[in-house]
Amino acid sequence: MSTVDSEGDAEDLRSRVREFLREHDHTVMEPLDFLRARFDAGLAWVHFPAGLGGIGAPRAAQAVVDAEFEAAGAPDNNPRRIGIGLGMAAPTILQFGTEEQQRRFLRPLWTGEEVWCQLFSEPGAGSDLAALGTRAVRDGSDWVVEGQKVWTSGAHVARWAILVTRTDPEVPKHQGMTYFVCDMTAPGVEVRPLRQITGEAEFNEVFLNGVRIPDAQRLGEIGDGWRVAQATLMNERVAIGGRPTPREGGMVGVVAQTWRERPELRTPELHDRLLRLWVEAEAARLAGDRLRQQLAVGRPGPEGSAMKLAFARLSQELSALEVELLGEEGLRYDDWTLRRPDLVDFTGREAGYRYLRAKGNSIEGGTSEVLRNIIAERVLGLPTEPRADKDVAWKDLPR
């Protein structure tokens, strides 16, 4: 199959799904068994190669398949809970992993049997990922890793992590990095909660103390970790900024509903702000559709950074408008109890929670400042920022 441009192609896919559903009755099967069978039938992510959950179909075919399973009421793999694995680890493993790595990791990743996290950010590197200092030193067939990561979502529930390390400090910072798959249950991996302004601890610090990683768990070539990490980050921003959203979905829908249900809260000034943000949200939603079309034809680009930037700004402005709209009522907070959630229940809590949690949107998944640089240089073609450290060995950089 090479295209789903025609209705005939789409109908072929629907028939394939219906046949699978006839042979696998999800009303009597265990959900996990059903998901495993779906993966094995090539109906998980259909654009992946045969044997790895797909059938080599165009990415656009996924929507046809997903709609058919959803209409049948079939169990899904809870994509929000395993978003890091699906959106970041899986495409990286597919692009840079060996066949053995692909067959080992992709199936339990897609079914949700194994949760993944991302060990990129560090206390001493901040938004400059290339400045990271976590060291990996070769020891026979293993690498020994020492360092600290921070702001790691879901590390407390993760079985595996994608990890970027420094393996050669003698070369400039964008070189000498190597990318691994890290076993989060290995001796020397320590996860500590980071309590946030909301009271929750969805993020973590992760300490890597003499962690041994087999060379067989390396993704890409030694010293080529920056290129692998860039591929991961591009997919991450597409995943965050390019999620399909219905009209008035997300925060704009929450605020618009409050506006309609509570006319006594309205003022002309708040009305103007809501209209402006509604139009911007709609423009961002349609731009997201365009981004997914580009992705469907295999052209993911830096536009994902623009979508992630727009998502963060809109989320913060809308949550602030909601608090202002509600006045003192908007300042109430439901529960400060320390929680360690698997995922963020952004719209399921009160306005005060949404306002505080939205502050993290411009930090997580790449800061807004970094994303503006990417847009300026790669989309608008503006001159790059002066970089005095470009040709300096990492070990000689001031810290």
Structure tokens at 396: 């000689």
Q: By C-alpha distance, which of 160, 58, 67 is closest to 107?
A: 160
Task: Report which residue type is found at 100.
Answer: E
DSSP class of 138: E
φ and ψ at residue 6, rounded to 5 degrees: -100, 155
Rounded to a whole number of angstroms, the CA Rg of the chain reads 22
Residues 6+ apart with CB under 8 A from 384: 377
DSSP class of 281: H
Element (H, E) at 247: none
Structure tokens at 57: 């179909």
Three-state secondary structure call for residue 341: coil
> What one-character-per-residue DSSP string does 180-214 give?
EEEETTSTTEEEEEE--TTSB--EEEEEEEEEEEE
Q: Which of 202, 236, 303, 317 is labelled catalytic?
A: 236
Annotated active-site residue 264? The verdict is no
Residues 6+ apart with CB under 8 A from 325: 255, 258, 259, 262, 265, 270
Structure tokens at 393: 């060995």
Which residues belong to the active site? 236
